[in-house]
């Protein structure tokens, strides 16, 4: 078996951070700071920022970028209140060329609607230093670490990089990036792009930096000169030891792995050799993906046991899979303990995280690790241990506790005849927006046992759920995935093509389904109610897309289905060759994706959810996206 594992080159974090749909105002003085100088940050909150200001210590996170570093360095600055403003001062690193700022309290942040507030460092003449415009352009690619990822703006990226080329014509990285961007945007013909790339590679005598080596290698690749590209990388790897170039060369060797086992071992060796790897998280994700595809959970457990420096949330991700194998439950519990130790190890914080946002991620990771620990104990019939773990998860997680954890805890309380605890937990869960059907049903049953009639139960439930809606809205915002748009073309039942990107500017729900899928059909009455709720809103699109159909004529099959289900009035589309659903990585249906107005994927929902829960969660998600 010959498995090829691609080199990982882009950092992706596992946990999403709360971003505000609104924005206050940030003023920075001086507007074009000098490298190594002090920068004053003044924040004026908007009227909608009450939630942001009501809890936690208000601070700014300043992400500073150097010319060559793959990721930024985050500086956290405490802000003090003065009248209606919040102020703070930060000293910039001597090597910084560009920076972006957000304001928050650790659990929620105002990111200026994902545009952030930015500054370019200046030189003695007041002009931007070399690399400033380049970094501003590259920040607009949408490939920064999750906690500081700006909205994609390729046209803006071109403007910034062109400004860099005008100011510093010898900046080869900027010139090559400009060519590649214009080519990808279609504003530069391929033949002209190749000619410009050839002009650059012909003029270069010696590579000046690791970043320049990568850019020149890309220019050679554009010309179809792979051997020359490889030579540039190898020479730069020797000249710049322990640089991003040398690590990329090391990463490329992982593609020679002949099996998932070998790949995991090579990945572990790489992370030991490169403890500060820029590709750490993507590499761990690739290991987990390989283990899932090849069903090698024993090896996955071993990878996490022997590889140092892994993040707590990565342990949680692995334990979910390892713990599902009965024979590996002891190993899963051991991984939970390693994950808890990782969460407590402050030295593991990457430079690209602010201290408060890193602490918040670890808090959530601990809660989720305890949840999985409780689930494993429950599977082992150790009810008391399961309850203790789930209680710890709830204690640490608070309103961010996984709803499944609360549902499981209530169930265990009821099994143990601890109805008072079950009722108190159900009440707290509903007041915190965790209104799953299981929690609702348990709450109603517990109140009925206490002698309340249906009217009294409905009144109490309505009061708790009303209180929980604001918490649910906050939780929904933190769950946003912020993944780039995955474009593709669907067709209407009449065969007319329609691209997903044509819906930009609207909130879009894509629901993949098939006529043979029972859960898909079960979900449709709820989906129809959601459609009825938004059908008059021109800014909301609900696209129900038929995939994986077992017929030669999908349009006819869907039309026949609609004839026998006349109450369904939502728009139907077809993914004719299942190309789009494949790009979305769907492995089971129904699967729904919620896209923001910029086209980015913000939520993913797999499976059939009971109606009350679905309508409440879907509505909250849509409203949060409409508010962006």
24 and 139 part of one domain: yes
In this predicted structure, the answer to whether residue 450 has a pLDDT above a threshold of 50 is yes
Cβ neighbours, 10 Å, residue 497: 10
CB 77 within 8 A of CB 26: no
Of 57 and 482, more confident = 57
**Residue 289 contacts by C-beta under 8 Å, 6 or more apart in sequence?**
none
**Residue 461 contacts by C-beta under 8 Å, 6 or more apart in sequence?**
430, 440, 443, 444
524 and 460 part of one domain: no
Give buried/exposed letters for 45-63 (b at 16+ CB in 10 A, else e): beeebebbbeeeebbbbbb
pLDDT of residue 51: 67
**Residue 592: its H or E element:** strand 591-595
Q: What is the mean pLDDT of the chain?
A: 90
In this predicted structure, the answer to whether residue 8 has a pLDDT above a threshold of 70 is no
pLDDT of residue 400: 87
In this predicted structure, the answer to whether residue 368 has a pLDDT above a threshold of 50 is yes
Do the domain assignments include residue 379?
Answer: yes
In this predicted structure, the answer to whether residue 10 has a pLDDT above a threshold of 70 is no
615 and 498 part of one domain: yes
How many folded domains does the chain comprise? 4
Q: Closest Cα to residue 403, out of 380, 374, 378, 437? A: 437
Do the domain assignments include residue 80?
Answer: yes
pLDDT of residue 50: 67
In this predicted structure, the answer to whether residue 619 has a pLDDT above a threshold of 60 is yes
451 and 523 part of one domain: no
Domain end among 365, 389, 413: 389
In this predicted structure, the answer to whether residue 571 has a pLDDT above a threshold of 80 is yes
In this predicted structure, the answer to whether residue 585 has a pLDDT above a threshold of 50 is yes
- Both tokens assigned to 350: 């990457």
Do the domain assignments include residue 459?
Answer: yes
pLDDT of residue 300: 95
pLDDT of residue 36: 96
In angstroms, rounded to a whole number, what is the distance separating the alpha carbons of residues 326 and 137? 50
Q: How far is CA 174 from CA 64, 236, 500, in A?
A: 19, 18, 31
Do the domain assignments include residue 470?
Answer: yes
Do the domain assignments include residue 194?
Answer: no
CATH number where 46 lies: 2.60.40.10
In angstroms, rounded to a whole number, what is the distance separating the alpha carbons of residues 183 and 187? 6
323 and 433 part of one domain: no
455 and 507 part of one domain: no
In this predicted structure, the answer to whether residue 314 has a pLDDT above a threshold of 50 is yes
564 CB-contact burial (10 Å; exposed 0-12 / middle 13-18 / buried 19+): exposed
pLDDT of residue 84: 85
pTM for the model:
0.81
Domain span at residue 289 reads 258-389
DSSP letters of 370-384?
A: HHHHHHHHHHTT-HH
26 and 163 part of one domain: yes
341 and 426 part of one domain: no
Q: How far is CA 210 from CA 35, 133, 216, 508, 571, in A?
A: 22, 18, 10, 41, 51
In this predicted structure, the answer to whether residue 580 has a pLDDT above a threshold of 90 is yes
Q: Kindly indicate the confidence band of residue 239, based on its pLDDT and cuts at 50, 70 and 90.
A: very high
Of 19 and 221, more confident = 221
**Residue 149 contacts by C-beta under 8 Å, 6 or more apart in sequence?**
114, 142, 143, 482
123 and 46 part of one domain: yes
497 and 449 part of one domain: no
Q: Kindly indicate the confidence band of residue 48, based on its pLDDT and cuts at 50, 70 and 90.
A: low
Question: What digits encode the pLDDT tens for the residues 455-496?
Answer: 999 999 989 988 887 777 777 777 788 788 899 999 999 999
Question: What digits encode the pLDDT tens for the residues 70-111?
Answer: 789 999 999 999 888 999 999 999 999 999 999 999 988 899
61 and 165 part of one domain: yes
3-state DSSP call for residue 313?
A: helix
In angstroms, rounded to a whole number, what is the distance separating the alpha carbons of residues 429 and 123? 55
In angstroms, rounded to a whole number, what is the distance separating the alpha carbons of residues 371 and 94? 44
Q: Closest Cα to residue 393, out of 382, 381, 383, 404? A: 404
The rounded percent of the chain whose pLDDT value lies above 90 is 75
Do the domain assignments include residue 230?
Answer: no
Q: Closest Cα to residue 304, out of 257, 351, 369? A: 369
CB 366 within 8 A of CB 312: yes
Domain end among 389, 418, 447: 389
In this predicted structure, the answer to whether residue 146 has a pLDDT above a threshold of 80 is yes
Domain end among 124, 152, 169: 169
Taking residues 258-285, what's their average pLDDT? 92
In this predicted structure, the answer to whether residue 2 has a pLDDT above a threshold of 70 is no
341 and 456 part of one domain: no
């Amino acid at each position: 078996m010959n498995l090829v594992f691609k080199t990982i080159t882009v950092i992706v974090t596992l946990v999403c951070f709360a971003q505000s749909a609104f924005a206050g105002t940030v003023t920075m003085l001086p507007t074009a700071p000098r490298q190594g100088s002090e920068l004053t940050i003044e924040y004026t909150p908007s009227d909608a920022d009450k939630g942001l200001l009501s809890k936690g210590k208000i601070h700014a996170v300043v992400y500073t970028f150097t010319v060559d570093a793959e990721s930024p360095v985050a500086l956290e600055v405490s802000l003090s209140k003065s009248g209606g403003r919040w102020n703070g001062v930060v000293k910039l690193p001597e090597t910084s060329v560009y920076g972006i700022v957000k304001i928050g309290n650790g659990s929620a942040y105002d990111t200026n609607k994902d545009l952030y507030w930015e500054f370019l460092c200046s030189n003695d003449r007041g002009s931007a230093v070399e690399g400033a415009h380049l970094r501003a352009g590259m920040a607009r690619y949408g490939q920064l670490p999750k906690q500081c990822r700006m909205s994609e703006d390729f046209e803006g990226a071109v403007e910034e990089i062109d400004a860099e080329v005008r100011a510093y014509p010898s900046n080869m990285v900027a010139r090559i990036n400009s060519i590649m961007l214009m080519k990808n945007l279609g504003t530069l013909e391929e033949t002209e792009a190749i000619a410009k790339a050839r002009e650059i590679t012909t003029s270069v005598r010696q590579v000046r930096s690791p970043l320049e080596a990568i850019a020149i290698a890309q220019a050679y690749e554009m010309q179809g000169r792979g051997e020359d590209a490889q030579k540039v990388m190898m020479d730069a790897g020797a000249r710049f030891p322990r640089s991003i170039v040398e690590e990329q060369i090391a990463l490329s060797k992982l593609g020679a792995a002949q099996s998932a086992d070998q790949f995991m071992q090579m990945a572990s060796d790489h992370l030991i050799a490169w403890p500060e790897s820029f590709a750490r998280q993507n590499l761990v994700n690739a290991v987990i993906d390989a283990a899932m595809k090849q069903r090698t959970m024993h090896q996955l457990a071993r990878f996490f046991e022997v590889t140092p420096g892994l993040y707590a949330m990565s342990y949680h991700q692995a334990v979910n899979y390892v713990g599902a194998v009965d024979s590996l439950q002891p190993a899963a519990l051991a991984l939970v303990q390693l994950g808890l130790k990782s969460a407590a190890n402050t030295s593991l914080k990457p430079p690209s995280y602010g201290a408060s946002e890193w602490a918040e991620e670890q808090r959530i990771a601990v809660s989720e690790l305890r949840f999985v620990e409780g689930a494993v104990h429950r599977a082992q019939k150790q009810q008391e241990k399961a309850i203790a773990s789930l209680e710890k998860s709830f204690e640490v997680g608070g309103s961010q506790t996984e709803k499944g954890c609360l549902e499981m805890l209530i169930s265990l309380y009821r099994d143990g005849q601890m109805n008072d605890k079950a009722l108190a937990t159900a009440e707290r869960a509903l007041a915190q927006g965790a209104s799953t059907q299981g929690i609702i049903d348990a709450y109603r049953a517990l109140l009925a046992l206490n002698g309340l009639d249906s009217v009294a139960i409905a009144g109490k439930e309505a009061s708790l759920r009303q209180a929980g809606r604001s918490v649910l809205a906050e939780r929904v915002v933190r769950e946003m995935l912020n993944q780039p748009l995955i474009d593709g073309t669907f067709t209407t039942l009449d065969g007319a093509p329609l691209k997903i990107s044509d819906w930009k500017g609207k909130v879009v729900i894509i629901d993949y389904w098939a006529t043979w899928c029972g859960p898909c059909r079960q979900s449709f009455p709820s989906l129809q109610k959601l459609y009825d709720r938004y059908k008059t809103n021109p800014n909301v699109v609900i696209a129900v897309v038929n995939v994986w159909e077992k017929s030669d004529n999908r349009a006819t099959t869907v039309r026949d289905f609609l004839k026998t289900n006349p109450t369904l009035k939502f728009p139907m589309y077809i993914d004719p060759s299942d190309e789009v659903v494949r790009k979305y990585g769907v492995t089971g249906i129904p699967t729904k994706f919620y896209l923001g107005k910029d086209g980015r994927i913000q939520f993913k929902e797999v499976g059939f959810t009971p109606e009350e829960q679905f309508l409440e969660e879907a509505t909250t998600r849509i409203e949060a996206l409409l508010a962006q």
